[in-house]
A and B are shown apart, each in its own frame.
Chain A
Amino acid sequence: MFNSLNRIQNTFGFFTTVAFVLASFIALSDFVTPRAPSAGTIVPESVQVVKGRPHYYSSKKEEYAIVKFSLDASLESLFTWNTKQVFVYVTVEWPEPGADNVTNSAVIWDQIITSPSADHLSNLSPVALRKLKRSAEGKSIDPSRGKLKIKNQKPKYQITHPTGKLAEAEDVRLRLHYSVQPWFGILTFDQESDIGLWKAFKGGVSELFKLPALKKKTTT
């Protein structure tokens, strides 16, 4: 520490250690914050199976399911100071006929819910971004963003199956998932059992339903 350069090096060296330890403590603070996410309802609204092609030049015809749904969930407790964003997604699950313990699962819809501290990172139009920022004016966290009320949502993704056959699949259900992406620490997902202060995700699964038969072309 005898000259300025040496003092710069020493101070910066210790700063990196302090920053790392501080980040670790912030990451650990997640574990002392209770989480109790739950989903009220998740229901398929209208389900369609149509024939289509994976891309324009494909000669292969596949069946695609278009599942509209409604859901109702409260994920408020996932939004803490260390939450950067919560990724919410809905999958359709159905057992593979004739095979034990094989479950098909495909994502039909997803959404990124940012924390006010990460609003500037969201990929939105300038107008929508301004609106989003204004909604959390002066707030460091905004748990109300975890309140989901979605009615008759069109799926973002149409799903199919490697065999190309999907119509009349039995025992299909919708499932809501989430993953919490923190500023510091580990990525966490919806869990099926309690871990410490984090409760298992309650609900988030729909009743079983059956995919309809292939929609016939109405052209004569």
Chain B
Amino acid sequence: MAQDALDKLRDLADGQIDFEGQKLAELLSTLLLSVFAVLSFMVGFTLQDIKLAVYIGLVGTCLTFLVVVPPWPFFTRHPIKWLDAYASRSLVAIETTTE
């Protein structure tokens, strides 16, 4: 039981996501940061308010971290389907690699 709980905790901290999720995370981080930067410039320039611009930029960055960093379910929707393991085959494979 304790082992299971520990494994779960480690998985959560590690936060691994699948390949499709990685692609999505990359896209999201790039897009969100850029959009918030453009927004912060436009709002700051039209309202002539540098503090507001900085705050929009920082809040946008925090939001991006929140969206991208944790292993949200939408990053783990396409798990890789591995082939079934054969006992005999795997033995052969081990032998060939150790040569």
Contact = CB atoms under 8 A, between A and B. Distances in A.
Please indicate which of the listed interface residues A11, A15, A19 has the most CB atoms of chain B within 10 Å of its own CB.
A11
B69 A15 contact: no
Contacts, number: 79
Interface in A6-22: 7-8, 10-11, 14-15, 18-19, 21-22
Contacts of A3: 14-17
A57 B56 CA distance: 57
Contact of B69 (A4, A18, A19, A81): A4
Contact of B44 (A4, A15, A81): A81
B33 A18 contact: yes
A99 interface: no
B16 A2 contact: yes
A82 B50 contact: yes
B70 A4 contact: yes
Nearest to B47: A140
Contact of B50 (A7, A11, A18, A117): A117
Contacts of A82: 50
Interface SS of B by simple majority: helix
A29 interface: yes
A169 B52 CA distance: 52
A21 B40 CA distance: 12
Nearest to A184: B50
Contact of B25 (A7, A22, A117, A183): A7
Please indicate which of the listed interface residues B26, B34, B69 has the most CB atoms of chain A within 10 Å of its own CB.
B69
Interface of B: 13-17, 22, 25-26, 29-30, 33-34, 37, 40-41, 44-45, 47-53, 57, 61, 64-65, 68-71
Interface of A: 1-4, 7-8, 10-11, 14-15, 18-19, 21-22, 25-26, 29, 80-82, 117, 140-141, 183
Given A11-B29, A14-B29, 9 more contacts: A4-B14, A4-B70, A7-B15, A10-B29, A11-B65, A11-B69, A18-B57, A19-B37, A22-B37
